[in-house]
Chain A
Amino acid sequence: MRRYLFFGVHADPPPWLRRLAAALPFVLLLALYLGASQLRLAENPDDKILPSLAQMADAVQRLAFRPDPRSEEYVMLKDTTSSLARLALGVGLSAATGLLLGLNMGLFPGMGAVLLAIVTFVSIVPPLAILPILFISLGVDELAKVALIFLGIFPLITRDIYNTVAALPREQITKALSLGANELQLAYRIVLPQVMPRLIETVRLSLGAAWLFLIAAEAIASTDGLGYRIFLVRRYLAMDVIIPYVLWITLLGYLIDWLLRLALRRLYPWYQA
């Protein structure tokens, strides 16, 4: 039988071709960008919309490796630490809350009866629509930004953990109880270890939304942060700053995702995602 390299259902691309194929869209995108950038810069050397790689490298050099003359801080570092702190706090609180609520709702029908409807309701409210209320009631400092991330993703995590717990075989629970486990042991020794890997998976999936909420919050009112900088320099169309910042956010997002995946594999090798 003929082995297909690339086309068709039975194709089996060798590793070198896989890597090449994966790189191709990136190369095309880059070439498209560089071509368009060169065209515009040839027409108007002061054009700011599609800066050249050298201009972007210059901007990164200035923001990341030289202290700001006025505040004497490294701007990009400061923005990154502020944003990551908000993100970590928001996602961390959401994960902890989601785990606790979801687990208890799934395991104890009484808790489920109280909380399921309200969590479902909250998860459908679009957090961005109530953003002004958050800012007005919680102030323009860190609290409102963390609260936005929290409100944006904790209901989803809760519901996912709830579904996972509800899908556990009932026999397992009965067996644990008949072997003498009390209800606390059941929740935190039998069920919890089984939903932990699922929690990591859900957090991975929620991170995209968390970034979105973080940047939206920083765009409304802020003194630092990655989203703050992007919306600030947009004021004078400094795409030479915006594009590297977007790439940096993408890289950070990818790194966090990778770390979580690594943790999942190390801590829960039995779990098949």
Chain B
Amino acid sequence: MHKLIGLIALLAAAALPGAALAQKSFDVCWSHYTGWEPWAYADEKGLLKKWAAKNGISVKLTLVNDYVESINLYTAGKYQACAMTNMDALTIPAVGGIDSTALIVGSFSNGNDGIVIKKGAAVKDLKGRKIKLVQFSVSHYLLSRALALNGMRERDVTLVNTSDADIASLFLAERDGAAVTWNPMLLKARSGKDVTLIFDSSKTPGEIIDLMVVKSNAPDTLKKTLAGAWYETMAVMSGQDKASRDALAFMAQKAGGTLAEFEAQIKTTRMFYKAGEAAAFVRGPELRKTMEYVRSFSFEHGLYGQGAKSKDAVGIAFPDGGTLGNAKNVKLRFDAVLMQAAADAKL
């Protein structure tokens, strides 16, 4: 039911045109996911406040319990920044005309998303199956990639749009189930009897990227605050000392699981602890290839909306100045400047 309430809230937010950005206080949102739990730490341990004070602003971080809802609220203008994946950044705010910048590339899924099946051993065994997944999500994208890599098409399977909250238990209850999902649901689904993980995101590494996305026209003070707080958190997290263990335990508790579970999820998440690594990843040639896959998938599945005639309708800009799609309508920007500044300790 909270989804309906969310829709109503969204309409209420929609009635007010986007707030002016010449301001000192900012609203930022995130939702639960392994790669974003550090935001809870940055907020509650005062790192975010410290960096905001340094930049002369105030930032309020809000946890939105529903992932899609959080992006919708960002797109509607309620938040100036929001945590989301590369695919959703393209298909929701960017296609919706909100010029957005991938400020922080925090991590990519390296096994955190996967396809599980009962009574089967390979992707080929999905043929003719009913597959549970959240349609149009990164799960759908992963499935599409897995099918393509195995010479199959989406027509070979039946998709059952399933709420992520219930997907693991529904999958486990079925005798010949198949599902695509992400952690922590994936861990739960894998724990069942006769369940085989037939594909996961480590087979297409670097394609499902977890970002902190900010409005491109947001002031530098906000961008610097977010980058500063994030990389200070990363430093604590990767420290291999007591502070690091405490931070992980804190995040595990926030995520609603045990430390062991959280550590298992961190293992299948390629965290960019060092800002320099993240900056290099964004500058690298692979990102362009990934975004080409992602935008083709999105366009072919109608995620560009009805007005779009081709996948070039929306432009995606890269740090080298190159673009994919319409260079005159760039709405999603990958930018390494602030990550580089963080790496050079110049924030």
A221-B3 CB under 8 A given contacts A139-B174, A234-B68, A240-B306: no
Binary interface encoding of chain A residues 230-244 relative to chain B, with 1 for a CB under 8 A from any of its CBs, else 0 = 011011111010000
Please determine whether A235 and B169 come into contact, CB atoms closer than 8 angstroms. Answer: no
Question: Please, how many angstroms separate the alpha-carbon atoms of A220 and B3 in the complex?
Answer: 11
Binary interface encoding of chain A residues 200-217 relative to chain B, with 1 for a CB under 8 A from any of its CBs, else 0 = 000000000000000010
Please determine whether A136 and B173 come into contact, CB atoms closer than 8 angstroms. Answer: yes
Binary interface encoding of chain A residues 24-48 relative to chain B, with 1 for a CB under 8 A from any of its CBs, else 0 = 0000000000001001100111111
Please determine whether B160 and A46 come into contact, CB atoms closer than 8 angstroms. Answer: no
Shortest A82–chain B CB gap in Å is: 13
Please determine whether B170 and A219 come into contact, CB atoms closer than 8 angstroms. Answer: no
Please determine whether A135 and B91 come into contact, CB atoms closer than 8 angstroms. Answer: no
Shortest A198–chain B CB gap in Å is: 30
Question: Please, how many angstroms separate the alpha-carbon atoms of A228 and B135 in the complex?
Answer: 11
Please determine whether B10 and A49 come into contact, CB atoms closer than 8 angstroms. Answer: yes
Give the residues in chain B near A45, CB-CB below 8 Å.
Answer: 97
Shortest B83–chain A CB gap in Å is: 17
Please determine whether B169 and A221 come into contact, CB atoms closer than 8 angstroms. Answer: no
DSSP majority for the A interface?
helix
Please determine whether A236 and B92 come into contact, CB atoms closer than 8 angstroms. Answer: yes
A123 interface residue (CB < 8 Å to B): no
Please determine whether B166 and A221 come into contact, CB atoms closer than 8 angstroms. Answer: yes
B256 interface residue (CB < 8 Å to A): no
Q: How many A-B Cβ pairs are below 8 Å?
A: 105
Partner of B97, one of A47, A137, A236: A47
Q: How many residues of A contact B (CB 8 A)?
A: 38
Please determine whether A59 and B306 come into contact, CB atoms closer than 8 angstroms. Answer: yes
A50 interface residue (CB < 8 Å to B): yes
DSSP majority for the B interface?
mixed
Shortest B175–chain A CB gap in Å is: 10
Please determine whether A135 and B96 come into contact, CB atoms closer than 8 angstroms. Answer: no
Binary interface encoding of chain B residues 44-70 relative to chain A, with 1 for a CB under 8 A from any of its CBs, else 0 = 000000000000000000000000100
Shortest A84–chain B CB gap in Å is: 19
Please determine whether B14 and A62 come into contact, CB atoms closer than 8 angstroms. Answer: no
Give the residues in chain A near B257, CB-CB below 8 Å.
Answer: none
Question: Please, how many angstroms separate the alpha-carbon atoms of A225 and B177 in the complex?
Answer: 22
Binary interface encoding of chain B residues 143-159 relative to chain A, with 1 for a CB under 8 A from any of its CBs, else 0 = 00000000000010011
Q: Which residues between 123 and 161 of chain B lie within 8 Å of chain A, taking CB atoms?
A: 130, 132, 134-137, 155, 158-161
B321 interface residue (CB < 8 Å to A): no
Closest to A41 in B: B97
Q: Which residues between 134 and 179 of chain A lie within 8 Å of chain B, taking CB atoms?
A: 135-137, 139-140
Give the residues in chain B near A44, CB-CB below 8 Å.
Answer: 18, 96-98
Give the residues in chain A near B169, CB-CB below 8 Å.
Answer: 132, 136
A residues neighboring B (CB under 8 Å): 36, 39-40, 43-50, 55, 58-59, 62, 70, 128, 132, 135-137, 139-140, 216, 219-223, 228, 231-232, 234-238, 240
Across the A-B interface, the 6 shortest Cβ-Cβ residue pairs: A46-B97, A136-B173, A49-B14, A221-B162, A235-B136, A44-B97
